[in-house]
Amino acid sequence: MSKPVWVYVYWSESSKFNDKDLLTFAEFERRCAQVAKQVGVDNGYDKTKVKVLFDDGEHYEVRLDLCPQEDKGFQSYVEGMLIWIGSERFLSTYGHDEAIIQEYEELKKYLEKIEWA
């Protein structure tokens, strides 16, 4: 199992983050919740590009869309991806492409290894 411990912020549209911030995972998630609440429902989102560093040396890069209806942080992003992969909507979009399905199944296995503190 991999535990997220640090988050490197490449850039963000939110003033809650500075470019090149290195934050503990807990602090990053706390700020993400604030940003999502600040943005509000149906007011767009603040794009934020990060690298999540895990205790086993692994890392994961992603651009989050911080808002109440999308990503409220990295954990909510992961939980959403795990629900989406294999869903009816996913299959109706990608069901004809075995390569994409395989790629997402590998991503799902990787994301399922994450252990939340």
Q: What is the pLDDT of residues 90-110, one digit of tens each?
A: 989 988 899 999 999 999 999
Taking CA atoms, 61 is separated from 37, 52, 77, 78, in Å, by 23, 6, 12, 12
Strand blocks (E) in the chain: 4-12, 21-24, 46-54, 59-66
- Which has more pLDDT, 86 or 32? 32
pLDDT at 51: 98
- Any idea where the domains of the chain sit in the sequence? 4-112
Q: pLDDT band for 40, please (50, 70, 90 cuts).
A: low
Please give the pLDDT value at position 70: 82
What's the pLDDT band for 71 if we cut at 50, 70, 90? confident
